[in-house]
């Protein structure tokens, strides 16, 4: 075993559908794409190690797994997304919609990078009058919108920041996985960035939900919030929107094409494998094959 990889803690995520709109087969397909994103795309950049599995019900989820639950309707936009239970374990609520995989990707990556919902890193504030601040490490929020997403096996997945995004790395570094973010601390359309300013003991957020970015003050988190992510996520942000991307959008059309191509290739591969198995059974089922098998 590689010592560096062996030193990492393997984290387990469980994907569970609690809506009749998402069958186990669809959940399994999305889970496979999420696992590929974690292992192939995020792990080399962020140094994490994790598994993501699909389960038929919450009762089937083994202890120690962090659940992502797909539900029909969350109703309250502030109840969507990441939460901490009374035992300090993270869980996620995803509202069902045509692009629910985008929300699941967003939340699974952020849960893996910051399971406590409180991880921070220091750096110069985007607001020049504030000086040094502490940024909440939410790696999907600055480029959360579907237009910056990408697809794996026809499943729409979230873009995410790299460590260079928070570190003010040199020009030319990679600031997000897709390259949509081109400079440190940049907030793209329908994205946001949150930070704590120590001198005022207040939280701020750079949002880009209108025609241009704006800075808002979030104040100080109250006792009703179990972690900082729960607090900052309520800053006029409706997390349900990621599950309801219009099917006519470019990102959804691209994912649909790739899903069709992936399905055609998968069915062709299945037919070839079925032929191989049939041929193998026919050979092993012949008298000559049985005699050879007994001699071996």
- The predicted pLDDT at position 60 comes to 97
Q: Does residue 123 fall inside a structural domain?
A: yes
DSSP of 57-104 = SGGGSPTTPEEEEEES---SGGGSEEEE-TTS-EEEEEE-STTHHHHH
Q: What is the mean pLDDT of residues 150-175?
A: 90
Q: Is the pLDDT of residue 40 over 70?
A: yes
Q: Is the pLDDT of residue 130 over 70?
A: yes
Q: Does residue 18 fall inside a structural domain?
A: yes
Q: Is the pLDDT of residue 296 over 80?
A: no
Q: Is the pLDDT of residue 284 over 90?
A: no
pTM: 0.86
Q: Does residue 264 fall inside a structural domain?
A: no
| Span of 139-143, 149-153, 169-173, 198-202 with lowest mean pLDDT | 169-173
Q: What is the mean pLDDT of residues 7-18?
A: 88
Q: Is the pLDDT of residue 5 over 60?
A: no
Q: Does residue 89 fall inside a structural domain?
A: yes
> What is d(CA 169, CA 195) in angstroms, rounded to the nearest whole number?
19
Q: Does residue 263 fall inside a structural domain?
A: no
Q: Does residue 77 fall inside a structural domain?
A: yes
| Span of 27-36, 81-90, 130-139, 210-219 with lowest mean pLDDT | 81-90
Higher-pLDDT residue of 125, 258: 125
Task: Find the DSSP H helices in the chain.
Answer: 3-6, 24-36, 43-46, 100-113, 163-167, 228-232, 250-285, 287-295
Which token pair is 24? 């186990």
| Span of 197-211, 212-226, 273-287 with lowest mean pLDDT | 273-287
Q: What is the mean pLDDT of residues 20-32?
A: 97
Higher-pLDDT residue of 256, 21: 21
- The predicted pLDDT at position 1 comes to 39
Q: What is the mean pLDDT of the chain?
A: 88
- The predicted pLDDT at position 191 comes to 96
Percentage of the chain with pLDDT > 70?
Answer: 90
Is 18 in contact with 58 (CB distance < 8 Å)? yes
Q: Does residue 291 fall inside a structural domain?
A: no
Which token pair is 242? 């990621």
User: What band does 294 get if pLDDT is binned at 50, 70 and 90?
Assistant: low
Closest CA to 61 of 29, 26, 31: 31
Q: What is the pLDDT of residues 88-117, one digit of tens each?
A: 899 999 999 999 999 999 999 999 999 999
Other Cβ atoms closer than 10 A to 272: 10
Note down the domain range covering 96: 3-253
Closest CA to 104 of 257, 240, 250, 231: 240
Q: Does residue 188 fall inside a structural domain?
A: yes
Radius of gyration of the chain (CA): 22
Q: Is the pLDDT of residue 173 over 50?
A: yes
- For the chain, what is the domain count? 1
């Amino acid at each position: 075993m590689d010592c560096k990889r062996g030193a990492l803690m393997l984290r387990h995520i469980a994907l569970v559908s609690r809506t009749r709109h998402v069958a186990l087969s669809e959940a399994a397909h999305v889970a496979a794409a999420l696992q590929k994103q974690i292992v192939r795309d995020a792990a080399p950049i962020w140094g994490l190690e994790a598994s993501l599995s699909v389960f038929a019900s919450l009762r089937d989820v083994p202890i120690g797994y962090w659940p992502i639950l797909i539900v029909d309707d969350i109703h309250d936009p502030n109840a969507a997304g990441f939460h901490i239970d009374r035992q300090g374990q993270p869980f996620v609520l995803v509202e069902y919609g045509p692009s629910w995989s985008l929300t699941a990707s967003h939340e699974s990556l952020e849960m893996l990078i910051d399971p406590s919902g409180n991880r921070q890193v220091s750096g110069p504030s985007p607001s020049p009058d504030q000086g040094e601040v502490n940024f909440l490490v939410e790696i999907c929020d600055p480029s959360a919108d579907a237009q910056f997403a990408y697809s794996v096996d026809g499943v729409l997945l979230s873009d995410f920041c790299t460590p260079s995004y928070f570190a003010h790395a040199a020009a030319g570094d990679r600031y997000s996985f897709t390259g949509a973010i081109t400079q440190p601390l940049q907030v793209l359309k329908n994205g946001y960035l949150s930070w704590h300013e120590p001198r005022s003991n207040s939280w701020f957020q750079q949002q880009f939900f209108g025609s241009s970015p704006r800075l808002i003050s979030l104040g100080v988190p109250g006792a009703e919030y179990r972690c900082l992510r729960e607090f900052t996520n309520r800053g006029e942000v409706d997390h349900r929107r990621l599950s309801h991307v219009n099917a006519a959008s470019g990102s959804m059309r691209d994912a649909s094409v790739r899903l069709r191509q992936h399905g055609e290739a998968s069915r062709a591969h299945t037919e070839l494998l079925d032929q191989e198995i049939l041929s193998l059974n026919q050979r092993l089922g012949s008298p000559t094959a049985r005699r050879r098998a007994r001699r071996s």
